[in-house]
Amino acid sequence: MMDDSIVFTNDFLREVFRGFYTSHTVGLPDRFARREYAFIYFGGRGMVRHISFHRRQDFIDYLREYAPAHVYYSSAYYQKPDASNMQEKNWMGADLIFDLDSDHLPNADRLTYTEALERVKKEFKKLVEDFLLGDFGFDKKHIELYFSGGRGYHCHVKDPDLLDMDSNERREIVDYITGKDFDDNVIFHDYFTDKKRYGGRTYSTGRTLRMPTPDTPGWKGRISRGIIDIIDEIRISDDPVNRLKEYGVKDKDAERLVKELSDERVKRIKNGFLDQSRIIKRFFLNRAIRRTAVALSAGETDEPVTCDTKRLIRLPYSLHGKTGFQVVRLSIDKLDDFNPLDDAVVLPSKPVSVTMNESFSITIKGEEYKFRKGEIDEVPLYLAVFLIGRNLAALRRT
């Protein structure tokens, strides 16, 4: 039997969401009748899926009647989207979806919610500007950007030429963006320095490693820029050895690397000459790849959304059940200015009383809040839903 307080909370959240869906019309994606829809309900057990809608009004009525906590739709198009068997759905194609979540970031567990949102937006911007618009050259008109309503961002690429790509083809795109299985011979190559003639033949007496110039297109220039940035970061550090240890470099290697980064060697590296130091080559290549690649998954065993041709993704303009924030569309040109703790907050501000389960601070809608565990506070509805949804607070009966 479900705890009475949980029932009370779920009823409260459901009514808040119902109020939003009653006063706001959530748009449907293109070719909406060819999509599968799925829902998770407040107090429900698992996901309810294999649902389709043939009329927009039917979908609007459904949201207003059931007020689900989470709303999803398929990136794929099907002939029979409501078939319960995936084979029977008859796949017709799928959008190319990129899902960046703050959980994919290094040391994500050490970041506050606000810090995580800031970091993942930088990662998302890198994906869109450097790779999708830059290296791949996708047209802006085929790219749609969304804040997920929770901890990340989604990018939908709707280029008609990509719809019928299979999982392997999509994985190739992911591997390129994440720098997987990168061959260092693509970046570095031997450059012979001194030459001498003997017996009518020319012999090399010295060599060094060369890397591309920073303005070289694609990964070559990206790696070079990353290496130079890392060198500058280490050089200006108050304690370069400890800085290298933070990167995961062992004590002895860190001390040796710092010694090898003399003024003359740094100058040579910035001019494209890495010399023949194995530790410099290994360290800087690995770090530059990690810095410039995009984290599209939580680890090597986690399959990125992009590779899945039948993945469910959050419906744009719906509400996120754990935050109450809206899945909002972003402008590519105004990505820097977007603030989810302002621009995605759409619920009313009427006061609600909550009891804090733990200490927490946040700035939302321009107001700073600092809470202590056990305190009873009256907060705006949009903040109450966020705190309750993330189990930071409990709804107080009045």
By DSSP bridging, strand 189-192 and strand 70-74 are unpaired
| Domain 348-398 fold | Ribosomal Protein L9; domain 1 (3.40.5)
Handedness of CA 2, 8, 13, 18 (dihedral sign): positive
Alpha carbon distance 223, 213 (integer Å): 9
**How buried is 220 (Cβ within 10 angstroms: 0-12 exposed, 13-18 middle, 19+ buried)?**
middle
By DSSP bridging, strand 70-74 and strand 37-40 are antiparallel
Joined together, the tokens standing for residue 311 give 């993945």
**Segment 315-340 mean pLDDT:** 96
List Cα–Cα distances, 374 to 350, 354, 360, 361, in angstroms: 22, 10, 11, 14
Residues 6 or more apart in contact with residue 328 via CB below 8 angstroms: 146, 147, 149, 316, 317, 343, 344
Does position 298 have pLDDT exceeding 70, yes or no?
no
Q: What is the predicted pLDDT for the residue at 305? A: 85
Q: What are phi and psi of 8, to 5 degrees?
A: -60, -45
CATH 3.90.920.10 residue ranges of the chain are 4-176+299-338
Joined together, the tokens standing for residue 61 give 């009525």
Annotated catalytic sites, by residue?
Answer: 99, 101, 302
Joined together, the tokens standing for residue 270 give 């910035």
CATH 3.40.5.50 residue ranges of the chain are 348-398
**Segment 34-55 mean pLDDT:** 95
Higher pLDDT pick, 331 / 206: 331
Q: How many CA atoms lie within 13 A of 377 on its CB side?
A: 22
Determine the length of the chain. 398
**Segment 319-334 mean pLDDT:** 96
**Segment 115-131 mean pLDDT:** 93
Q: What is the predicted pLDDT for the residue at 273? A: 75
| Domain 4-176+299-338 fold | DNA primase, PRIM domain (3.90.920)
